[in-house]
Chains A and B, each alone.
Chain A
Amino acid sequence: MRAGKDAGGRLRGRARTFLRLHGHALFSSLGDLWRAPLMTCMTLMVIAVTLALPLTFYLTLANLQRLSGGLEESWKVSLYLDPKLDEKQAAPLLARLRKQPAVAAVHLIGKEAGLMDFRRHSGFGEVLEALPENPLPVVIEVTPHPRWENPQRLAELVAAWEKIPQVDFVQWNMRWLQRLKGWLQLAERGVAGLGALLSLTVLLVVGNTIRLELENRHEEIEVMKLLGATHRFIRRPFIYSGFWYGSTGGLMALILAWLLSAVMRAPAKSLAALYGAAFDIEFLSLPEVLAFAGFSVVLGVSGAWLVVTRHLWRLRI
Chain B
Amino acid sequence: MLQFDQVTKSYPGSGDVLRGVSFQIERGEMVFVSGHSGAGKSTLLRLTALMERPTRGAILLNGQNVGRLPNRKIPFVRRRLGLIFQDYRLIHDRTVYDNVAMPLLIAGFGPEETDHRTRAALNKVGLAGFERRYPVTLSGGEQQRVGIARAIVTRPPMILADEPTGNLDPDLSLEIMAMFREFNQVGVTMLIVSHDQALVSRFAGRVLHLERGRLVE
Instruction: Name A residues whose Cβ lies closer than 8 Å to a Cβ of B.
Output: 16-17, 20-21, 24, 219-220, 222-231, 233, 317
Contacts and interface: CB of A to CB of B under 8 A. Distances in A.
A317 B77 CA distance: 13
- Tell me what chain B mostly uses at the interface: helix, strand, loop, or mixed: helix
Nearest to A229: B106
A226 B52 CA distance: 12
A225 B111 CA distance: 21
Interface in B39-58: 49, 51
Given A20-B108, A21-B108, A223-B90, 16 more contacts: A17-B108, A219-B91, A222-B89, A223-B91, A223-B102, A226-B83, A227-B102, A227-B103, A228-B76, A228-B77, A228-B79, A228-B103, A229-B75, A230-B75, A231-B72, A317-B51
A187 B134 CA distance: 58
Interface in B59-76: 72, 75-76
A223 B111 CA distance: 22
Contact of A224 (B49, B102, B111): B102
B110 interface: yes
Given A16-B110, A226-B49, A24 B105 contact: yes
Interface of B: 49, 51, 72, 75-79, 83, 89-91, 93, 102-103, 105-108, 110-111, 150
Contacts of B150: 227
A230 B72 CA distance: 7
A225 to B, nearest CB: 8
11 contacts: A16-B110, A17-B108, A20-B108, A20-B111, A219-B89, A223-B102, A225-B75, A227-B102, A228-B106, A230-B75, A233-B106
Contacts of B77: 228
Contacts of B51: 226, 317
A41 to B, nearest CB: 20
Contacts of A230: 72, 75
A20 B79 contact: no
Contacts of B102: 223-224, 227
**What 4 A-B pairs are tightest by C-beta distance, nearest first?**
A228-B79, A228-B78, A17-B108, A229-B106
A223 B72 CA distance: 17
Contacts of A223: 89-91, 102
A105 B210 CA distance: 109
B46 to A, nearest CB: 8
Contacts of B105: 24
A224 B78 contact: no
Contacts of B93: 220
A226 B110 contact: no
A141 B111 CA distance: 84
Contact of A227 (B76, B83, B110): B83
A224 B106 contact: yes
Contacts of A222: 89
A227 B106 contact: yes
